[in-house]
Structure formats: structure tokens, C-alpha cells
Amino acid sequence: MLQLSINALKPLTYHLELGAKLAQLRAHGVILLGSGNVVHNLGRLRWDEPDKAFERAARFDEAVVDQLRMDPSAILKVVEHPDYKLAVPTADHFIPMLYMAGVAAASGEPMEPLLRGYSMGSLSMTCYGIGTGLGCREEDGAATLPADVPAEQTNI
């Protein structure tokens, strides 16, 4: 396993281009993973609403899903979205998706959501796959925690 560090000094285009360069590793049997929650505003959490989304968070997350399905190479169009600044106050959870968008663009494969959901108003739990053959159905919704697991013991 190789872990990439995010170089916050580089522009967003750098990360998208790096992902495109990494795409060729797939031909050698390397599995590429990107983590993070695209909508990730810790300063605006609503702890008492574990399965809710602010309208702005849902709008932005949906715009990202749509862009990744249509043209992952143009994902940076979403930084012009009116909800971007509140959805992505810092890029640390946005950049891993850029790596994967670069992979998808280089391979010609769309990114499809594997899981959709929201937490505490300002977090999206949307996870993506490329070439997995999996996908999520909107009617399935997000996975829920077992009743006996306290929220402070999760990785939300």
C-alpha cells in the first residue's frame, strides 16, 4: 500500500493531474483508493441530527455526483458552485476525490457512488467507485449504526 500525502501548497489542478498519472497503475493490478467526505464542514455540525443534511450540503454533493458521472475530467467546475465554500471550507477532504476523478478521466470510466448519505447536517458520506460494477440505489439510503453504538465511538 502506498499512501499519498496531500500537498496543500499545490493548486487543485495538480491533484487532478496526479490522479490521471496514477491511473496507469491499474493496468498492473494496483487498486487505487481515495477517502474523504466531499462535503465536510466541521464548524457547522449539528450533533443532534446524525442522519440529516443541510439543503446546501445536499445540493453541492448532488452537483459533485452529477459532474463525476458526466465528465470527471471537469470536476473542478464544482468550485464555482454557490454552495462550494460552505461545503468545502478546507480542501483536505475534497482532494482525495480529485485523485480519483483524475483516474476516472484517464481511464474513460465514470465515477459512480457506492454509498450515499449525510451526517450532522454538514457531512456527506458519499463514497465512489470506478469500474466496480457496484453502485448504490437511492432507495437503499445510508447505512445506519446499530442502536448500541454511541456516536462518539464512530469515525464520523
23: phi then psi, degrees, rounded to nearest 5:
-55, -35
The answer as to whether 6 is a domain residue is no
The answer as to whether 1 is a domain residue is no
Q: What pLDDT score does 114 carry?
A: 82
The answer as to whether 109 is a domain residue is yes
pTM above 0.75, yes or no: yes
The answer as to whether 150 is a domain residue is no
In the chain, the number of structural domains is 1
Q: What pLDDT score does 111 carry?
A: 84
What is d(CA 39, CA 75) in angstroms, rounded to the nearest whole number? 14
The answer as to whether 30 is a domain residue is yes
The answer as to whether 148 is a domain residue is no
Q: What pLDDT score does 52 carry?
A: 87
Q: What pLDDT score does 146 carry?
A: 59
For residue 117, what are the domain limits?
Answer: 12-132
Contact 61, 142 (CB under 8 A): no
What is d(CA 73, CA 101) in angstroms, rounded to the nearest whole number? 6
The answer as to whether 3 is a domain residue is no
What is d(CA 151, CA 146) in angstroms, rounded to the nearest whole number? 10
The answer as to whether 47 is a domain residue is yes
CATH code of the domain containing 53: 3.40.830.10
Q: What pLDDT score does 155 carry?
A: 53
Residue at 118: amino acid letter? Y
Contact 67, 128 (CB under 8 A): no
pLDDT tens track, the chain, 156 positions: 567 778 889 999 999 999 999 999 888 888 787 776 789 988 888 888 888 888 999 999 999 999 999 999 999 999 999 999 999 999 988 999 999 999 999 999 888 888 888 889 898 888 888 877 665 555 555 445 556 666 555 554
Q: What pLDDT score does 11 carry?
A: 96
Q: What pLDDT score does 139 carry?
A: 52
What is d(CA 126, CA 36) in angstroms, rounded to the nearest whole number? 9
